[in-house]
Each structure stands twice: as C-alpha cells, then as structure tokens.
Structure 1
C-alpha cells in the first residue's frame, strides 16, 4: 500500500493548525516530521503526522506536565 502524504494546507486543516504555525515549527523543530520535495514543496507523511499527534494526546493536564518533566512538587 503506498504511503499517504499531506501537503501543508491539508495538514493544517486536518489538525486545525494555521499554516503559518507549521512554517514556524519547521524552523524551530517543534512540529511533525516533514519531507521537502522542492524549494516550495513540503509534505507530511500521514503516518508520521498521526504518530506526532498521538504523542501529544493526554488524558489530563497533569499527565502532560509529567511527560514534559515540569510537574510541580
């Protein structure tokens, strides 16, 4: 089965994120893995995007803070 890729607009729509945010994340390294196919052509492998989103899914705020190592004592 061939791998599915999302362009920047599709990724932004799927995850309710502004395209500009994705552009900023590419610069800071905070965002999902991407593939540069040309000077202006960026795609996101769907499997990587889903894994990225799953890694940022938490049942409650305390779990998020514990994963980041920022829990309060």
Structure 2
C-alpha cells in the first residue's frame, strides 16, 4: 500500500495490520524537492512493524521518460 505518513494512509495501514493482513508499504522520495514525506512514513512503518520500500521519484521519472522515448522510436 502507499504510505505517505499522513493521517489517512497511516490509519488504513494500522487497520490492515490490526486485521492481520500482511502489509508492505511504499513511500515516495522526492529528494531535495518539496517537503519530504518519507520521515513520517518511516515512523509509522516502524511503529506498525511493517516493511517500507522507498521509491526515488527522480529515478522513476527517468525510467518513464526512457520508456516513452523507446515507444516513440518503435
């Protein structure tokens, strides 16, 4: 599930854990741009004892640009 560390996603994660669902959380890392969310999502994930995967948005954006470029060349 996507975990921003905000109230909504934190409550959903807690309810899933409470229900016995095996939760794997993902959060976005915007690097130096904007306000970082990952410190909050890391706190929630540690409290709930769930794994958290941090996805670097810059790398994701770069992959999407490369895919779009490849599709245009086909």
Same fold (TM over 0.5): no
TM-score, structure 1 length as denominator? 0.26
TM-score, structure 2 length as denominator? 0.26
